[in-house]
Structure 1
């Protein structure tokens, strides 16, 4: 390893520190970035993995951090802190952003699932309207005479023929037909139905 660093142009076998390498990268030295990469890739991946726990996402975010270092290296100011702190700040921010993004996605999916379980507004409205209509029909049925109400209920709610209604009520067929007609007219008027 010392030979590789020495070949990179350092004296005494000790490699340039990260701050010096970042300065060289800022000047466009791609070989210096290869050394930066070697120094920071492991620590960056380690930090990101400690936040994310998912190996695949950790590698992706670590790669994003390395690209970010390459893109923004000119912003590094050695007098404001160490180079490794600067890099690790990128890594931590990216990892936390990924966690927040994943949580936001999970929350959106959860809300969408809840919306799928909630009946549509129209279904609720229809159910309420149907209940109100049933109540109104019941109220209007109470305004009919006993024979009219029985005739209407048997013919329209039980599905009996006029003849079956007449036999069941022990009434002449003509009387049942008249009571049904009169009962339906009264129901129509009570319900506000226009002919």
Structure 2
């Protein structure tokens, strides 16, 4: 009995020939969904275009302090986790976060919705401030011949200095899509959800060493992508 084309889209048809074709189609669909799942997972916490974050940022650009306070409340936890992971000092992380939100208040009107989600844009601003503080620390340490900074903390995506925050946010989003499924999952959960290595291992049910490898290699690839 020949296979009807419409049958492929609903349920496995009867017959060996049809089952074989159905299996190939299911395999192709699964592979496509697997590649997309990493991006979807990394963006689960990102607001859709109609999300309140976009509305709050637009209101902030108009000088609405109440909207800015609500934007701060909704995003502070995630951004603080990113800064603390980079600087590893609570006081320094608080200072950087304050500078980042002041920058958001001043530049909210420069956000372009079509280029990157609001959360990615906020992350770009925050990481830029944190990287600047790390560089200042390194310069001061060199001047007084102090112990070198933890090199692992400095191995973070360091984009071209000429990139604006808007372009950087777009670049981060594009470079994330080039990572493998495992790397994109791990980095998405770490940076968008603020999970530690141990929490990632538990969430993904994967050995801690493997998770650390995914994050490290993914960050190196992001670094190369952003610097290219």
Smaller-chain TM-score range? 0.3 to 0.5
> What's the TM-score, normalizing by structure 1?
0.48
> What's the TM-score, normalizing by structure 2?
0.41
Of Structure 1 and Structure 2, which has the larger fraction of its residues in helix? Answer: 1
